[in-house]
Amino acid sequence: MDLNVNNNINVKGDSSEFFFSAKAETAKESVIEKKWLSFVAGRKSDFEFIYQSYHQHLFNYGMHLCSDRELVKDCIQDAFVTLVKNKNDIKKAASIKFYLFKCFKRKIINSIKKKRDLTLHQADVSRDNFMLGVTNQFHEIEETLSADLKKQLKDTINALPNAQREAIILYFYEGMDYKQIAVLMNMTRVKSARALIYRALSSISQKLNPA
């Protein structure tokens, strides 16, 4: 598997290209947009589709941040409740996912602060749980990879430092842009998010292609 900065990993300007990339616009997102607008207009039944579309993504992300499964589940429910309460303030469906992730992470952090035995980015976090269910963006690519290469890539990403792994997952698996990642990771500058992803990609390349 040839991953090098000058070939399949290419980072320059304001865009990053990996040997796979998250698609900003997908058929699913188009459906979600329609469902969201319908829900805001008063069709409550369409909210179930939105919930089913994002709750697994939130759970995976939450298990990366904290190993308390019940706390993560509670925060997911709270995030969706907050979304419903503020539905009229969210005019564009494209902002739903980011809104949910931002709200969810804030709730996770606040909940962890109340529990002295928990910390953000716990060392014993279940990384396998975090990686489950986030492959929708990469289904076509994963079909072309052997089982060994899939495991190698997964293990390499999981071995990254917490911040790098979070940034990679948010960018490539969840389709967040640099500005959104900077906000989610409490960075003051957008270029900090871009630099973090670059370092992560360089590390992945070195581990997959040792000298």
| Top-confidence residue, 27 or 65 | 65
Q: In this structure, what is the dihedral angle of CA atoms 74, 75, 81, 82, given to the nearest 10 degrees?
A: 160
pLDDT at 110 over 80: yes
On whether both 127 and 140 belong to a single domain, the answer is no
pLDDT at 3 over 50: no
On whether both 75 and 140 belong to a single domain, the answer is no
On whether both 51 and 80 belong to a single domain, the answer is yes
Residues 6 or more apart whose CB falls under 8 angstroms from that of 132 comprise 60
pLDDT at 138 over 60: no
Question: Model's pTM, two decimal places?
Answer: 0.75
Residue 7 lies in a domain: no
On whether both 99 and 116 belong to a single domain, the answer is yes
Rg of the Cα atoms in the chain: 18
User: Which domain does 202 fall in, by range?
Assistant: 135-211
**CATH code assigned at 160:** 1.10.10.10
